[in-house]
């Protein structure tokens, strides 16, 4: 008798994001799923912890591949939440050990996606809390602000710092974000310690539900 009377406690649960499944990989927009519905994309410097963040937010280990050889993927991975909504894993940038040509290909693919994808509603940006705002991060941030799309920053691997030190970085990042005329928010995050996952899920859920 108690069945089916509970209302979902969060946007995230309403969406059943844990049912998200791999949809396809694409080397360009031409081979991407049709540009309809709603997408939230994840982006960040190689090794910033993007794959780990996607897996812990979705709640499925191994969905996005975590890699010990960063910078190798020059593809966009699409995950399907439901037939209207997708989560997008964009290629990591800023890895020193790839060729100039590969770097250019990654930048080209990122700008192609960010510039033209109509169904993109917001961007999650991963930055290692010990190295926030590299020049690549700032370039990307300014680019997305120019597109007037919201950004939510995950300061990843916050388990590497004390709680106090992590919050200091967060305050500093928030100060810098206040300079931008756009919806830019930030939080501390640890996939390893499952810290900040609920907060990230609420932002993702709000964006995906529109």
x/- track of binding to ligand GDP for residues 6-45 (CB under 6 A)? --------------------------------------x-
Helices 50-58, 197-209: crossing angle, 10 deg rounding:
80
Q: Who's near 177: CB < 8 A, 6+ residues apart?
A: 153, 184, 185, 186
Residue number with CB closer to ligand GDP (75 or 192):
192
Q: For residue 51, state whether it binds ligand GDP (rule: CB under 6 A).
A: yes
Minimum distance from CB of 155 to ligand GDP (Å)? Answer: 10
**Spatial separation of the C-alpha atoms in residues 88 and 127, rounded to whole Å:** 17
Q: Does 185 bind ligand GDP (CB under 6 A)?
A: no
Residue closest to 126 by CA, chosen among 158, 79, 149 = 158
Quick check: helix, strand or coil at residue 77?
strand
Stretch that binds ligand GDP, among 1-9, 46-54, 109-117, 146-154 (CB under 6 A): 46-54
| Torsion, Cα of 36, 57, 8, 183 (10° steps) | -60
Q: Which of 15, 63, 70, 122 binds ligand GDP (CB under 6 A)?
A: 70
> Looking at 115-123, 156-164, 169-177, 198-206, which segment touches ligand GDP (CB under 6 A)?
156-164
Identified binder of ligand GDP from the candidate list 38, 41, 43, 52, rule CB under 6 A: 52
């Amino acid at each position: 008798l108690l069945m089916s009377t509970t209302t979902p406690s969060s946007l995230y649960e309403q969406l059943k994001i844990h049912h998200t499944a791999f949809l396809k990989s694409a080397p360009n927009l031409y081979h991407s799923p049709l540009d309809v519905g709603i997408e939230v994309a994840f982006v960040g410097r190689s090794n910033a912890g993007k794959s780990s963040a996607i897996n812990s937010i979705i709640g499925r280990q191994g969905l996005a591949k975590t890699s010990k050889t960063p910078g190798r993927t020059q593809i966009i991975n699409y995950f399907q939440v439901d037939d209207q909504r997708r989560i997008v894993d964009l290629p990591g940038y800023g890895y020193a050990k790839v060729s100039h040509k590969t770097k250019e290909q990654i930048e080209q693919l990122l700008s192609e996606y960010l510039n033209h994808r109509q169904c993109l509603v917001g961007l999650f940006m991963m930055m290692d809390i010990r190295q926030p705002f590299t020049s690549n991060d700032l370039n990307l941030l300014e680019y997305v602000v120019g597109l007037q799309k919201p950004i939510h920053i995950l300061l990843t691997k916050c388990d590497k710092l004390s709680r106090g030190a992590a919050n200091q970085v967060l305050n500093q990042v928030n100060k810098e974000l206040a300079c931008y005329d756009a919806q830019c928010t930030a939080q501390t995050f640890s996939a390893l310690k499952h810290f900040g996952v609920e907060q990230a899920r609420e932002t993702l859920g709000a964006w995906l539900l529109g």
